[in-house]
Structure 1
Amino acid sequence: MKHLLSSKPDDDGLPPRARALAMAALMLCSLMAVLDMNIVNVALPTISETLDVSSSDAIWIVNVYQLTGAAAILTFAALSYRIGAWRIYIGGLIVFVASSLGCALSNSLTTLIVFRAFQGLGAAAMMSLGPALYRSVFPSRLLGSALGVSSMVVATGVAAGPTLGGVLLALGDWPLLFLINLPMGAAALVLTLRYLPRSEGNGAPFDVLGAVLSALMLGGLVIGVDELRREGSMSWAVYLAVGFIAGAAFIRRQQRIDYPLLPLGIFRQARFSMAAVTSFFAWVSQSMAFLSVPFLLQSELGYTPLESALLFTPWPLAIMFTAPRAGRLADKFSPPLVCTGGIIVFIAGVIALATLSSSAPMWDVVWRTALCGFGFGLYQSPNNRELMGSLPRAQSGTAAGVMASVRTFGQSLGAALVALALSGIIIETSHAGLITLALNVAIVAALIALALSASRLTRARALADNE
């Protein structure tokens, strides 16, 4: 990472020393937010048993965290222009740490889900503005590398989460999974208060109705998909109707007001819109595979939570190794070309997991999870670089908000689809068959992402030929 602190006379962003301290603050906050989600992933079977709830209901411990974040990300991105990104970032950190204590003290699924929702809001404030802050901290020539480091930090949280979660569950009860955020949060607060660049808002009007409509749109769609698993209930139709109606109203409002929550004109930039849609389907796929693997390893292959965590760890470790290198490649070569190759490798990994034998030895599990991580790491940084670099710096907050929204909404929808698959309402088969179904749907989503990413190569060649 030494090259990230290099300096050239025409560099924008912060000088090297200030850049290093600001990077440390951003890295710690991102690590904490991602670590929390992935500590919980591996513990879902344990929490569902302790609280006496079904596996499909326990998925909401993860899903509500992602869903509330997805619903609020565009709001936070818009508010950052009004009152300053720094204030939103600090406020999100404080909410996240306080709600972590609430999660640890919860004694029912309902209470836990409520505090997880507040955790999701705090994490969304940090994660939605992180990429924009990276762009203000680093020179433009290092944007791909910086976002690669950001992806590496996220992967570190994913890698450490399952292992740390397994260790904490071996040492004590599941509230320890949330109490760990208190000392980490205190350290993160000190760093962000001292070293992050402070920005003042422009006082522009805030689109309150747009924020409400965006939340109803995203929430209605994800909850509607989840409600499909409840036999004899038509509530799914109501939620989906709310989501689609709110979505149509949101788009219409954004086209008519002077200060929209989401300037729809940015989607006329083909590089930006294609990167955003590709990202959505890729995150749906990874979320489904991520949430399916712990159930596969523990429920079907008989591994303990700690063993499951260790077998799961090669996936994020491979992302840690690959993402920074993929980011540097994206600064030198075509980002769509690099990330298209990554999606191909990722699909091969998920197919390998879907065909895993129930008697497979540990080493046979390890290479399959590692292949998934290698492919996703190769895809993620170049696609993020394409998305963030396709708009002017002045629109970095909006670009970061869209990037975080499609990621979080994709993860939320993926989690809801896993819950739907595991409910058994789609097909009547064994639990192992339901897990395989979830992995197969993940493969379909990844194939869509592949088709979209590959189409960018065709478009680029056509533009080159016309020139």
Structure 2
Amino acid sequence: MLSLMTGVALASLDTAIANTALPAMAQQLHATPATSVWIVNAYQLAMVATLLPLAALGEIAGYRRVALCGLALFTVASLACALAWSLPALVAARLLQGLGASAMMAVSTALIRAIYPPERQGQGFGTNALVVAVAFAVGPTVASVILSVSSWPWLFAINVPLGVLALAAAWRALPHTGRAAHKLDLPAALYNVGAFGLLILALGEAAHGAAPARLPFELGAAALCWVLLLRRQRGHAAPLFPVDLFCQPMFALSALTAFCTFAVQGLAFVSLPFFFEHTLGRSPIDTGFLMTPWPALVAVMGPVAGRLSDRYAAGALGGIGLVVLCVGALLLATLPAHATAFDIGWRMALCGLGFGFFQAPNMKAIMGSAPRARAGSASGIVATARLSGQATGAALVAFCFTLSDTQGPAYALATAAGFAAVGAVVSFSRQLLKT
């Protein structure tokens, strides 16, 4: 279990590290800010586009095998990132690194379900939430420390020894699981990559105001891939895009709740640094510390909420958490112009408290509503909802800034509160499904 969590933590840590160090990498690679964004976009695009195909492959080839291959690829790609001599070489290595991270994330939730007995699965999902939150919280600090004593390649080189140790431990510890009898539908996998990849590409370019003439083509191509994917999967016993699972109300409502909540996270974590620095006049160092209470409280609440989810309904727990998150986002949106660090800190902590109270129970609801034979696809949806929600939130931040440079962050936080409110209603509606 620890080896699996280490791999997931490395993938989460790498996201936060790259975001923080992007200006330094752009400067040393002699790249413009616009082109350097591909260092981040390539990683995210590779993950979102391949999550569901790799989750389906986990059902067929075994979750253990996919996780081990993903961890090995992530480690090798990290070395390639450290040795990259140009921006194109680094972007290519980041694509491979994102593919490795996708393999780990696609099956991690299914492996947790296989490792923990049913009465303790909430605890397992809570531990997973704790690890991801801690990795996300320490990422900016780790990047700052490494860049203060060395150059950007060491941001990726540090993954190599950790990845080797995690791979050795995972080889011994991860359990073998049953395999499905059906085969991977390769055309459907390619349609899925096109659908999600083009959609995330379009959202990313829209967020940065790049190439508006290409957006209709990218969105149209994404829509065509979606149509082809759904037609291809019609009547399939185990569809790659799990329409069979979405026919179950508990699964569909839980996935929608997850999307709304991670859209809140995307809106907040992209807009808040601008809010703190441009509106409140804080320094970048101050911003790093002011952002910490949110993931720190998620880390604290993850195991607590996980244990509670073994006793109480996920709909109620998730709804309560999202109401708290909604209140926290509204309080951040209405911060006074001369807010103190304490004023900011307790509001950020309130958001983290609500987010942490939601995450583990919702994950358990998604996995618990899927048959064991379809745990891989359910695990893929967990990760897909997280990443697509974050990407949607980031794109909406860009739209808010087009409305107003000065009020953009406040608009984004108010939009985040709206997503949290919708998520709370959806979460509480799951209580009506109880018989």
Give the TM-score of the pair, scaled to structure 2. 0.91
Q: Residue in 1 aligned with 2:427?
A: 453
Pairing partner for 1:322 from 290, 297, 301: 301
8 Å contact 1:25–1:188 — kept in the other structure? yes
Asked if 1:395 corresponds to 2:374, the answer is yes
Equivalent position SS for 1:391? coil
Contact 1:45 1:295 in 2 (8 A): no
Q: Deviations over 1:27-48 (max 9, x none)?
A: 2112111111122233345445
Match of residue 202 from structure 2: 224
Q: Rate the CA distance shift 1:154–1:271 in 2: closer, same or farther, 3 A.
A: same
CA spacing shift, 1:447–1:243, aligned 2, 3 Å: farther
Quick check: 1:92–1:126 contact (8 Å CA) kept in 2?
Answer: yes
2:116 aligned residue (135, 138, 145)? 138
Aligned equivalent of 2:94, options 116, 122, 132: 116
With normalisation by structure 1, the TM-score equals: 0.85
**1:436 counterpart residue number:** 410
Structure 1 equivalent of residue 158 of structure 2: 180
Aligned match of 2:176: 198
Q: Contact conserved, 2:125 with 2:364, CA < 8 A, in 1?
A: yes
Which whole-Å CA distance do the structure 2 matches of 1:107 and 1:368 have between them?
A: 43
Moved more, 292-301 or 310-319: 292-301
Candidates 267, 271, 279, aligned match of 2:250: 271
Q: Is the 8 A contact 2:55 2:107 kept in 1?
A: yes
Matching residue of 1:169? 147
Question: How far apart, in 1, do the equivalents of 2:35 and 2:280 lie?
Answer: 22
Q: Does residue 356 of the first structure (1) align with residue 330 of the second (2)?
A: no
SS of the residue corresponding to residue 323 of structure 2 reads helix
Distance 2:28 2:306 in 1: 42
**Does residue 1:412 correspond to 2:391, yes or no?**
yes
Q: How does 1:336-351 map to 2 (within 5 A)?
A: 336-351=315-330
User: Out of 259, 263, 272, which is 1:284 matched to?
Assistant: 263
**SS in structure 1 of the partner of residue 176 of structure 2:** coil
Q: Within 5 A, what are the aligned runs for 1:31-42?
A: 31-42=9-20
Paired with 1:102 and 1:321, the residues of 2 have a C-alpha distance of 35
Name the stretch that deviates more: 277-286 or 41-50: 41-50
CA-to-aligned-CA distance 1:65-99 (integer Å, 9 cap, x gap):
22221110111111112222211111111111122
CA contact (8 A) 1:343 1:379 kept: yes
Match of 1:236 among 199, 215, 228: 215
After superposition, the Cα gap between the structure-2 partners of 1:50 and 1:361, relative to the gap in structure 1 and judged at 3 Å, is: farther
How far is the alpha carbon of 1:198 from its aligned partner?
Answer: 2.6
1:331-387 per-residue CA deviation (whole Å, 9 max, x = no partner) reads 111111011111111122222333334543322222222122111000111111111
Q: 1:234 aligns to what SS in structure 2? A: helix
1:21-60 matched pairs, under 5 angstroms? 23-47=1-25, 59-60=37-38
1:76 aligns with 2:50: no
Please, which moves more after superposition, 325-334 or 229-238? 229-238
Taking a change above 3 Å as real, the CA distance of residues 340 and 58 of structure 1, as seen in their structure-2 partners, is: farther
C-alpha contact 1:311 1:365 (8 A) present in aligned 2: yes
Structure 1 vs Structure 2: percent identity of aligned residues?
36
Taking the aligned partners of 2:159 and 2:61, their CA distance within structure 1 comes to: 27
Whole-angstrom distance in 2 between the partners of 1:300 and 1:226: 24
Q: Alpha-carbon deviation of 1:123? A: 0.8
Tell whether 2:27 aligns with 1:64: no
**Aligned partners of 2:92 and 2:31: how far apart in 1?**
16
Per the alignment, residue 314 of structure 2 pairs with: 335
How far has the Cα of 1:260 moved from its partner? 2.8
SS at match of 1:197: coil
Query: 2:151 aligns to what SS in structure 1?
Result: coil
Shift of 1:57: 5.8
Cα distance, 1:399 vs structure 2: 1.2
* Pairwise CA distance, 1:191: 0.7
**8 Å contact kept, 1:166–1:306:** no
What amino acid is the match of 2:275?
L
**Pairwise CA distance, 1:107:** 5.3
Q: Structure 1 residues 198, 99: closer, same or farther in 2, change over 3 A?
A: same
Q: For 2:89 and 2:278, locate their aligned partners in 1 and report how far apart those are by CA, in whole Å.
A: 26
For the pair 1:371 / 2:345, whether they are aligned, the reply is no
Q: Is the Cα–Cα contact under 8 Å of residues 226 and 417 in structure 1 kept in the other structure?
A: no
* Deviation for aligned residue 1:50: 5.5
SS of 1:182's partner is helix
Q: 110-119 vs 78-87, which deviates more?
A: 110-119
Of 97, 120, 132, the residue aligned with 2:75 is 97
Cα-to-partner distance string for 1:103-129 (whole Å, 9 max, x where unaligned): 334455444333222221111100111
Question: Within 2, Cα distance between the matches of 1:214 and 1:86?
Answer: 23
Using the alignment, how far apart are the partners of 2:358 and 2:237 within structure 1? 36
Task: Give, in whole Å, the separation in 2 of the partners of 1:187 and 1:170.
Answer: 26
The 1:452–1:109 alpha-carbon spacing in structure 2 relative to 1, beyond 3 Å, is farther
Unaligned runs of 5+ in 1: 1-22
Aligned partners of 1:68 and 1:120 also within 8 Å: yes
Tell me whether 1:249 sits opposite 2:228 in the alignment. yes
Q: What CA distance in whole angstroms lies between the structure 2 residues aligned with 1:56 and 1:341?
A: 40
**CA distance 1:171–1:100, change in 2 (3 Å):** same
Confirm or deny that 1:149 pairs with 2:103.
Answer: no
Relative to structure 1, the CA distance from residue 278 to residue 193 in structure 2 (aligned partners, 3 Å threshold; closer, same or farther) is: same
Q: How many pairs are equivalent?
A: 434
Bigger mean CA offset, 292-301 vs 142-151: 292-301
- Could you list the per-position Cα deviations for residues 281-314 of structure 1 after superposition, in whole angstroms to 9, with x for gaps in the alignment? 2112212212223343445555554433222221
